[in-house]
Amino acid sequence: MSRTAKTKGLIALAVGAAAVVAGVPALAGAATTDAHRAAPPALTIDFTGSNSLAGAANAVGAGFGGTAAAKDASGAQVATVYDQCTKDAVAVDSVTAFCAADLVFTGGDQVTFTAVVPIDNPLTAKYPKQFDGVITGGTGAYQGLTGAVHLTNTAAGVYSLGWDA
């Protein structure tokens, strides 16, 4: 094989390898990924009267959603949370729902998370009830955010959020 053919072959191999690495960000190295960001503040969200759970069919697959004010420790509204849920298990005094939520902060930054949410009959529920969700992403100051959101159901439709991000 001639020296020119070897050189062309090596150049083609290098170009092909670069194309594969560029097409697969996980292989490109840590320098191309988003930096880890700080967690949002602890929040309280209250869906009382603003969620369609009561009007949703009492069957697996029934959807419901709503919005709520998200308040910080001082009681100031710092975000609005939008949720969309699907009932996955229905019992006499409880429902389990898979929910996706988007926190939109007053400055426009967002944090999204999902959670499997246990919802008890408000007449028989025992509070507080704790469970976790998964942070699925963020924008702005929260771009690259990952980890867990810790939810504490403190009353019917009221949740405290803490972050492990």
Environment class of 125 (CB within 10 Å of its CB; exposed 0-12, middle 13-18, buried 19+): middle
- Structurally, what CATH architecture does the domain formed by 48-164 represent? Beta Barrel (2.40)
Taking the C-alpha atoms of residue 118 and residue 108, their distance in angstroms, rounded to an integer, is: 29
Q: How far is CA 17 from CA 8, 127, 154, in A?
A: 14, 56, 54
Q: What is the pLDDT of residue 28?
A: 39
Q: Where are the domains of the chain?
A: 48-164
- pTM for the whole structure: 0.74
Q: Which of 97, 98, 67 is nearest to 82 (CA)?
A: 67
What distance separates the 2 farthest-apart alpha carbons in the chain? 85
Q: Give, for all 165 residues of the chain, the pLDDT tens digit.
A: 454 444 444 444 444 444 434 444 444 333 334 455 688 999 999 988 777 777 777 888 888 899 999 999 999 999 999 999 999 988 888 889 999 999 999 999 999 999 999 998 888 999 999 999 999 999 999 999 999 999 999 998 999 999 997
